Amino acid sequence: MTASSGTTILSKMVVRGRPGLFYGYIIVLLATLIMVVTWGTFYSFGVFFKPVLLEFGWTRAATSAGYSLGFMLSGLFGILTGRLSDRFGPRMVVTFCGLLIAAGYLLTSQISAIWQLYLFYGMVGIGSSGAYVPSISAVSRWFIGRRGLMTGIAMAGIGLGTMVMSPLANWLITNYGWRFSYIVVGVAVLLLITLLAQFLRRDPGEKGMRAYGDDFVDRQTLLAKDGSLAFGRAVRTRQFWTLCAMFTLVEYSVHNINVHIVPHATDLGISAASAAQILAIIGAMSVTSRIVMGALGDRVSRKAATVVCFVIMLASLVCLLFTRELWSFKLFAVAFGFAYGGYQPLISMLVVDSFGLGSLGVILGTITFTIMAGSAVGPILAGRMFDLTGSYQPAFLICVAFCIIGISLGISLRPVVQAKGETDIHSIIAHK
């Protein structure tokens, strides 16, 4: 064995954490579980929707606003949690946010007026901001090779959480009422997220390691040459606002479905338990598609993969306009869930492709905020349309139109033109 080959083997052992398990895989597992708990509980709002509505007699638009407010605040505070995570790491940020989510659910169990729903679900939304951006930013920093696959696995936790939590929440509500169910959710969040957060690390440097796939490139040199754009420069690019607009329009449909698909199905005579299964199928399919499309994103154009997901979503929404039977709802859920889950891991990958790793947390947090703020209008508008017309058809037609525009914007997306002398991170990796 030559000295050179011995050095290469030693380098790989250090980078991948041998002897022992590479800690990056622990980061992926932690991020996945945090997504399961945080977003599985948040997206179960649609199961709680009618029980709360029936007890208080509020309109669907007013009740939907609780979810929308929480979702919008999650995006807004994602900018802050992204910046804090860039600076201090995800452990402290996720711990505090877990405490806030738990408090929000526990207090929601005691509401007696609609302003309380808004206040306490707003707390849940603020807390939820600490799950997505810090966790996905950490995964991106731990993996250069296999980044798409690992991001997809972590984000599959959102779908897995929806798949598990929606039927569980329906069972709890049926047997113990919605108030006790929120207490159970709050305690579960308190115990799980605060515990999981203690093992998070911002990047491999905190463990004396290097990122997976960074075997031969000095980390500081890579970051210096990756063509990263500072936040101020990124927001002045066309690509930044194209990403914001295309994902906002498509996510508008996602959150309409998350809140209103269960009430819509029960309005058509489908049982609450079967309607909850529709959400569970969406979650199950999104688990598969996040992993599949995340891995595919390592090998093919992320833009093309995103547009394909948008087209599948458009087809599912068109079918929803004519869906009346349980079997057709389940068919819709398969296609919609695959499309919705499939593009999720591609968002952060497109951000890295466009702007680099240097300011990933704050850039991703800002894009996430614009997506959440815009799409949060959807559930309220859909609820208002139902209150006025007694039908969700107008709301679903808007979803179809927005999805078509989102496809057009996705097709128009172009890479950021880098300044002379800057080197793309993928070129560095490819020529190692």
Give pLDDT, residue 296.
78
The angle at the Cα of 354, spanning 254 to 80, to the nearest 5 degrees, equals 65
Averaged pLDDT, 278-282? 85
Q: At 5, is the pLDDT very low, low, confident or very high (cuts 50, 70, 90)?
A: very low
Give pLDDT, residue 214.
67
Checking if the pLDDT of 146 tops 80, the result is no
Higher pLDDT, 370 or 395: 395
- Distances from the Cα of 87 to the Cα of 56, 189, 330, 358, angstroms: 44, 25, 44, 11
Give pLDDT, residue 32.
92
Residue 12 placed within a domain = no
Give pLDDT, residue 2.
44
Q: At 11, is the pLDDT very low, low, confident or very high (cuts 50, 70, 90)?
A: very low
Give pLDDT, residue 217.
44
Residue 398 placed within a domain = yes
Averaged pLDDT, 117-121? 94
Higher pLDDT, 89 or 261: 261
Q: At 215, is the pLDDT very low, low, confident or very high (cuts 50, 70, 90)?
A: low
Residue 3 placed within a domain = no
Lowest model confidence (mean pLDDT) among 26-35, 45-54, 100-109, 393-402: 45-54
Checking if the pLDDT of 189 tops 60, the result is yes
- Distance CA(379)–CA(398), nearest Å, equals 12
Give pLDDT, residue 7.
35
Q: What is the CATH number of the domain that holds 232?
A: 1.20.1250.20
Residue 372 placed within a domain = yes
Checking if the pLDDT of 375 tops 90, the result is no
Higher pLDDT, 141 or 227: 141
Q: Which domain holds residue 409?
A: 21-430
Entry pTM: 0.70
Averaged pLDDT, 248-276? 87
Domain count, the chain: 1
Name the burial class of residue 359, with classes exposed (0-12), middle (13-18) and buried (19+) by CB atoms within 10 angstroms of its CB: buried
Averaged pLDDT, 86-94? 84
Averaged pLDDT, 345-360? 74
pLDDT tens column, 289-338:
888 887 777 777 888 888 999 999 999 999 999 988 889 999 999 999 99
Residue 1 placed within a domain = no
Angle formed by the axes of helices 393-412 and 377-389, nearest 10°: 150
- C-beta separation of 313 from 362 below 8 A: no
Residue 16 placed within a domain = no
Lowest model confidence (mean pLDDT) among 87-91, 155-159, 355-359: 355-359
Residue 317 placed within a domain = yes
Q: At 345, is the pLDDT very low, low, confident or very high (cuts 50, 70, 90)?
A: confident
Residue 128 placed within a domain = yes
Q: At 15, is the pLDDT very low, low, confident or very high (cuts 50, 70, 90)?
A: very low
Averaged pLDDT, 370-397? 85
Mean model confidence pLDDT for the chain: 81
Angle formed by the axes of helices 326-355 and 360-375, nearest 10°: 150
Give pLDDT, residue 172.
92
